[in-house]
Amino acid sequence: MNLLNDNEKQYLLSKIRDVADFPQPGIVFKDITTLLKDSNAFSFLIDHLYNYYKDKDIEFVAGIESRGFIFGAALAYRLKSSFVPIRKKGKLPYTTISEKYALEYGFDEVEIHIDAFDGKDDNPNVLLIDDLIATGGTAKAAIDLINKSGANCSNACFIIDLTFLNGTDLLDKHTDIYSVLEIS
């Protein structure tokens, strides 16, 4: 399990664009599309994640809608694992199970197909992945959903961790967490 050194972290951070006041005033949005369009940076990141997870017996990679799909599908391919999308309510065509989570004003819900983790071992190991963790609500709901489905969310990975929002504090009792980049 190799971690990135400071120069490698700076390289990846330099490929992520800050967009001020998006989606609302006062927010600095971390735009990963600039990293994705740089084939060298994207390959470097996926290679790093592959090397980090290759010996962890990951049978499924579950990506949170929508940017988690990008990283999750690429990493699942490299790991020779299956990919499972975790989507917002009403987006999956077959029978689903769901998990609600609190927002600042109200609730939202994520879903997976009821048979998402069928076909491999009982209680298969799942890596949850997303581009960013902020407060952790969506990720916590996704972990609960994976575990509720009969699988084991053994690891969670985030490309960016906004550490000042303490999202990983909500998760660290439930799974092993790896954040590639931390922004405080």
Among 8, 59, 65, 67, the active-site one is: 67
What pLDDT is stored for residue 106 in this prediction? 82
> Which CATH number goes with the domain that contains 78?
3.40.50.2020
Q: How many domains in the chain?
A: 1
Give the residue numbers spanning the domain of 112: 57-183
Whole-angstrom distance, CA of residue 57 vs CA of residue 120: 12
Whole-angstrom distance, CA of residue 33 vs CA of residue 152: 30
- The amino acid present at 155, given as its one-letter code, is N
Phi, psi for residue 177 in degrees, rounded to 5 = -115, 135
Helix H or strand E encompassing 70: helix 67-79
Tokens at residue 136, please? Answer: 């952790």
Whole-angstrom distance, CA of residue 146 vs CA of residue 179: 19
Could you give the 3-state DSSP secondary structure of residue 79?
A: helix
What pLDDT is stored for residue 60 in this prediction? 98
What pLDDT is stored for residue 86 in this prediction? 98
Q: Has residue 8 been placed in a domain?
A: no
pTM of structure: 0.96
What pLDDT is stored for residue 1 in this prediction? 64
Q: Has residue 31 been placed in a domain?
A: no
Number of Cα atoms under 13 Å in the Cβ half of residue 109: 11
Asked if 12 and 180 count as a contact pair (C-beta separation under 8 A), the reply is yes
What pLDDT is stored for residue 119 in this prediction? 78
The reply to whether 67 belongs to the active site is yes
Tokens at residue 43, please? Answer: 């390959």
Q: Has residue 68 been placed in a domain?
A: yes
Per-residue pLDDT of the chain (184 residues; tens, 9 = 90+): 689 999 999 999 999 999 999 999 999 999 999 999 999 999 999 999 999 999 999 999 999 999 999 999 999 999 999 999 999 999 999 999 999 998 777 899 999 999 999 977 789 999 999 999 999 999 999 999 999 999 999 999 999 999 999 999 999 999 999 999 999 9
Asked if 119 and 150 count as a contact pair (C-beta separation under 8 A), the reply is no
Whole-angstrom distance, CA of residue 76 vs CA of residue 111: 19
The reply to whether 104 belongs to the active site is yes
Whole-angstrom distance, CA of residue 160 vs CA of residue 32: 10
Residue with tokens 């199970």: 97
Among 17, 59, 99, 104, the active-site one is: 104
